[in-house]
Structure 1
Amino acid sequence: MLPTNEQGLKCIYLCESLTNTYQPIYLVRLDERDGKLFILAGNDIQILISRNGYWEFLT
């Protein structure tokens, strides 16, 4: 399974925003079970990007 175009663009945007604020990015992973992209960055920043490009912080 590959990420969608919307996921890819949103991932690049979010990764750029994180690094602009000097947050290290530790992990970017595509969950093949549900097709969502997961980003782990900074001090416990967790972001989930859905197939349609919408994203959310995980708590």
Structure 2
Amino acid sequence: MVILLTAAQALKCVYLCQFLRNISKLIYMVCLDDRTGKIFILAGEDIEILISRDGNWEYP
């Protein structure tokens, strides 16, 4: 089963990636987890961000 991004996820992903670049953090990976439908962003030395399908994000 293929899970596609939602509009809310896509916008939040672009916003967060731009924010990370503005604070000079390297973005190493952006991927979509096919199991959960969440976007995963790995940046800097220890920044991991999850964006849920409704556009809410968490920094676990």
Q: TM-score, normalised by structure 1?
A: 0.95
CA RMSD of superposed structures (Å): 0.5
Point out the structure with the larger strand share. 1
Q: CA deviation at 1:43?
A: 1.2
Counterpart residue number, 1:39: 41
Which of 23, 29, 32 aligns to 1:21? It is: 23
> Deviating runs (4+, > 3 A) in structure 1?
none
Q: CA deviation at 1:21?
A: 0.4
**Which residue identity lines up with residue 26 of structure 1 in the other structure?**
Y
Question: How many residues are paired up?
Answer: 58
Gaps of 5+ in 2: none
Gaps of 5+ in 1: none
Q: CA deviation at 1:2?
A: 1.2
Identical amino acids, percent of aligned pairs: 59
**Which residue identity lines up with residue 33 of structure 1 in the other structure?**
R
**Which residue identity lines up with residue 55 of structure 2 in the other structure?**
G
